[in-house]
Amino acid sequence: MNTLCPRSVLLSLSLLAFLACGLLACSVAKAPYNVTKGALKGTYLVTRYAVKGGVGAGTVVYHVGRFTFKVAKAPIEWPLVREDIESIDDVPPKKAIERDRVKNSPYVVRGKRYEPMSVAQAKKYRERGVASWYGEKTRRQAGGHMTANGEVFDPDELTAAHKHLPLPTYVQVSNLENGRSIIVRVNDRGPFKKGRIIDLSAGAARRLGFYEKGTAWVQVKTMPTREG
């Protein structure tokens, strides 16, 4: 009696699957981002306090683990860092910011419409890809600039731009080339260059060790947080 070895069985099954797909016109849908099956375990305590007087008044300081984030609302007349954002939630960007309609609202850049994740999807987000950095040129321009959710942009702060995450979201970015890891606050949109998954501030790029190189292979994952 002839018997098939395990390898032959696997090859036979693979061939049948291939033929079936050919007959049924199978296709593979690719999502613009990866979502893990389960939420990440453990949470980071987020504490905050407002600077009420003197220099920096109106700034809210957040602490997430050992990282500190200074957040201030930008004057509405300031230009956006990403001036090519045409609309947010189907209205002009500044109007959407004034109406607080930017968290995960769809937006348009150079005629292309982007649909951000829901808050629930974002909690399970994890992705590997190429990171770049942006915003250094704002140092050489007069006046200040605002992010896509209306915050003051400071290239020295630990912030980032992402096409699909709600604004703001805290994510851990790990440089897989040198082992460094930091937490950043996603408060802007981008990068819009093909093949890149996140744009970091110049300060964040320095902390991760790829400022001079310009790009790095990284892992990005949302940080489960709770208010303290």
Does residue 82 sit within a domain? Answer: yes
Q: Give me the residues of the chain with pLDDT under 50, please.
A: 1-31, 36-40
Domain containing residue 59: CATH number? 2.40.40.10
Domain assignment present for residue 131? The answer is yes
Residue 38 lies in a domain: no
As to burial, measured by CB atoms within 10 angstroms (0-12 exposed, 13-18 middle, 19+ buried), residue 150 is: buried
pTM for the model stands at: 0.81
- In a domain, residue 157? The reply is yes
For the chain, what is the domain count?
1
User: For residues 98 and 187, what is the distance between their CA atoms, to the nearest angstrom?
Assistant: 15
Q: Does some domain include residue 4? A: no
> How does pLDDT run across 180-214, given as a tens digit for each residue?
999 999 999 999 999 999 999 999 999 999 999 99
Residue 212 lies in a domain: yes
Q: Is residue 32 part of a domain?
A: no
Taking alpha carbons only, the member of 98, 207, 196 closest to residue 146 is: 98
Domain residue limits at 105? 44-227
Please check whether residue 37 lies inside any domain of the structure. no
According to the model, what pLDDT value does residue 42 have? 66
